[in-house]
Amino acid sequence: MTASVISAGPIPGTGRAAQGAIELRQVSKHYGDVVAVDELDLTVQPGEFVTLLGPSGSGKTTTMMMVAGFEEHTAGAILIDGKPVDTLPPRDRNLGVVFQNYALFPHMSALENVEFALRMRKVPRAERRQRAEEALDRVGLGKMGGRKPRQLSGGQQQRVALARALVFNPAALLLDEPMAALDKRLREQMQEEIKTLQKGLGISVLFVTHDQDEAMAMSDRIVVMRDGKIVQSGPPEEVYNHPMTDWVASFLGDTNLIPCTVVERNGEEAVVDLGGLGMAKVRDRGASGENYAVSVRPEHLKFRTRATAGNGCAASLVSSTNLGATVRHRLTAGGHDLQLRELSSDSVARIRPDEELWVGWDADKAQLLVLES
Ligand SMILES: Nc1ncnc2c1ncn2[C@@H]1O[C@H](COP(=O)(O)OP(=O)(O)O)[C@@H](O)[C@H]1O
Ligand SMILES: [Mg+2]
């Protein structure tokens, strides 16, 4: 991808020039023998919200540190709005940064913390105060500028950090697990606020999380990382519904993996032999490897009557657990353990231990993937 994809005009509805394209070309980082990031190719388009999702140690923070300029890369090139930034110090990269371990200065007030970002960039004193106040206003802390970090809650401190990252109108935001220290409710609230802020400003965001729900909720595109490499990238629904490997399927939630033999592949669809579960038509995105399986999410497995079976088979119930909003049923079918999830409100007390059950799924909800493990 080249700089020509960047449009010079304003982003529709924002009045803001399209900027904030981040591009990594074959970027690697080695720490001695450790390959933390391995020939990464990644592009964030202006205004796009891209999330790096992966387990601990997969290279997410290292990637962010290199883009921010806190770490030097071993190989490759990093470009912002088409310009190489490899030799630029962090403050000249025009990126707003909120990292987990990039804390506020404890001896400065919230307002002074935000102003500091402008002082670093040589903004005249007279202008600084007003811009810092506006930035605090934008994150809902207009009245708390005088407080020290210790007089603010965790969520409020993260808002100050966000104001500090936004106050100098950066080209893009880099957010590395910014909500990891917050409890669930506050985290969900902040997720929505960050998303609203990002859309309103039309700013690009490179975001890091190891939490798949957070990635699903916030991203235009999810980039799944493992061992310093990208294993799959796409819009959240695409990655969730069409994982290419069993590892991606399992990392992004629960799934039923049924080993299979591929009988026929014709473009978007494949015919597979599921052993004890018979033959089935499934979605095919062209993943290729030695061993294959079919992935069916528990919420896509349905109780059926024998007459409408289609993709499906006889099953017997092992256990049912009410999880509040949903019920999780464990079943065995054709020698496989399966999980079926349904809304509690749909779960009639129809299931008796001795009852003959049928389960099935729609062909477009079953995905052919490569079995790695
Ligand atoms: N300063 C460092 N020195 C040596 N190894 C490091 C350093 N920073 C990170 N690593 C290693 O690089 C890999 C990726 O780490 P990191 O980018 O922090 O992963 P993540 O943010 O996805 O949890 C890990 O194996 C980690 O131990
Ligand atoms: Mg990290």
Name the band, by pLDDT with cuts 50, 70 and 90, for residue 17.
Answer: low
Which residue bears the tokens 């729900």? 213
Q: What is the pLDDT of residue 3?
A: 36
**pLDDT of 155 strictly over 90:** no
Note whether residue 36 is domain-resident.
yes
Q: List the domain range (segments joined by +) for residue 222.
A: 3-241
**Closest-lying ligand to the alpha carbon of 54?**
1
Q: What is the pLDDT of residue 177?
A: 92
Structural domain count of the chain = 2
Residue 179, domain CATH: 3.40.50.300
Q: β-pairing, 292-296 with 366-370?
A: antiparallel
Contact in structure between 93 and 18 (CB atoms under 8 Å)? no
Q: What is the overall mean pLDDT for the chain?
A: 89
Q: Is the CB of 31 under 6 A from ligand 1?
A: yes
Query: Is residue 330 domain-shared with residue 193, that is, in the same domain?
Result: no
Per-residue tokens: 275:
């052993």
Query: Is residue 231 domain-shared with residue 264, that is, in the same domain?
Result: no
Note whether residue 223 is domain-resident.
yes
Residue 260, domain CATH: 2.40.50.100
Q: What is the pLDDT of residue 204?
A: 97
Q: Which residues pair with 264 in a beta bridge?
A: 271
Round to whole Å and give the CA distance between 148 and 113.
9
DSSP assignments along 183-215, one per residue: -HHHHHHHHHHHHHHHHHHT-EEEEEES-HHHH
Round to whole Å and give the CA distance between 370 and 48.
29
**pLDDT of 6 strictly over 50:** no
Q: Which atom of ligand 1 is nearest to the CA of 54?
A: 22
Contact in structure between 202 and 171 (CB atoms under 8 Å)? no
Which residue CA neighbors atom 4 of ligand 1 most closely?
Answer: 31
Query: Is residue 187 domain-shared with residue 58, that is, in the same domain?
Result: yes
Angle at CA of residue 180, ends 178 and 183, nearest 5°: 120
Enter the pTM of the model: 0.89
Query: Is residue 204 domain-shared with residue 294, that is, in the same domain?
Result: no
Q: What is the pLDDT of residue 305?
A: 76
- Among the candidates 191, 222, 241, a domain finishes at 241
Name the band, by pLDDT with cuts 50, 70 and 90, for residue 101.
Answer: low
Query: Is residue 95 domain-shared with residue 188, that is, in the same domain?
Result: yes
**pLDDT of 18 strictly over 70:** no
**pLDDT of 350 strictly over 80:** no
**pLDDT of 245 strictly over 80:** yes
Q: Ligand 1 pocket test: which of 28, 30, 31 has the largest number of ligand atoms within 8 Å of its C-beta? A: 31
Query: Is residue 230 domain-shared with residue 265, that is, in the same domain?
Result: no
Query: Is residue 218 domain-shared with residue 271, that is, in the same domain?
Result: no
Query: Is residue 178 domain-shared with residue 268, that is, in the same domain?
Result: no
Note whether residue 262 is domain-resident.
yes
Contact in structure between 253 and 265 (CB atoms under 8 Å)? no
User: How many other CB atoms sit within 10 Å of the CB of residue 342?
Assistant: 18
Q: What is the pLDDT of residue 313?
A: 82
Question: Distance of CA 270 to CAs 61, 122, 258, 308, 361, Å?
Answer: 38, 61, 15, 21, 15
Which residue CA neighbors atom 16 of ligand 1 most closely?
Answer: 59
Note whether residue 346 is domain-resident.
yes
**Closest-lying ligand to the alpha carbon of 100?**
2
Q: What average pLDDT score do residues 173-200 get?
A: 89
Q: Is the CB of 65 under 6 A from ligand 1?
A: no
Q: Which atom of ligand 1 is nearest to the CA of 32?
A: 4
- Among the candidates 206, 241, 276, a domain finishes at 241
Query: Is residue 236 domain-shared with residue 268, that is, in the same domain?
Result: no
Which residue CA neighbors atom 7 of ligand 1 most closely?
Answer: 31
**pLDDT of 185 strictly over 80:** yes
Q: Who wins on pLDDT, 9 or 115?
A: 115
Query: Is residue 55 domain-shared with residue 182, that is, in the same domain?
Result: yes
Q: Is the CB of 54 under 6 A from ligand 1?
A: yes
Which residue CA neighbors atom 11 of ligand 1 most closely?
Answer: 36
Query: Is residue 235 domain-shared with residue 256, that is, in the same domain?
Result: no
**pLDDT of 24 strictly over 60:** yes
Question: Distance of CA 159 to CAs 30, 168, 181, 194, 197, Å?
Answer: 33, 15, 13, 9, 11
Round to whole Å and give the CA distance between 45 and 81.
9
Query: Is residue 41 domain-shared with residue 164, that is, in the same domain?
Result: yes
Q: Ligand 1 pocket test: which of 24, 38, 61, 225 has the largest number of ligand atoms within 8 Å of its C-beta? A: 61
Name the band, by pLDDT with cuts 50, 70 and 90, for residue 314.
Answer: confident
DSSP assignments along 294-305, one per residue: EEE-GGG-EEE-
| Highest mean pLDDT (candidates 45-59, 89-103, 131-145, 170-184) | 45-59
Name the band, by pLDDT with cuts 50, 70 and 90, for residue 8.
Answer: very low
Q: Which residues of 51-83 are buried (b: 16+ CB within 10 A; e: fewer)?
A: bbbbeeebbbbbbbbbbbbebebeebebbbbee
Q: What sections of 121-183 are H helices per DSSP?
A: 125-138, 154-166
Name the band, by pLDDT with cuts 50, 70 and 90, for residue 118.
Answer: very high
- Among the candidates 195, 222, 241, a domain finishes at 241
Which residue bears the tokens 């017997």? 316
Expressed in angstroms and rounded, the spacing between residue 27 Cα and the centre of ligand 1 is 15
Note whether residue 246 is domain-resident.
no
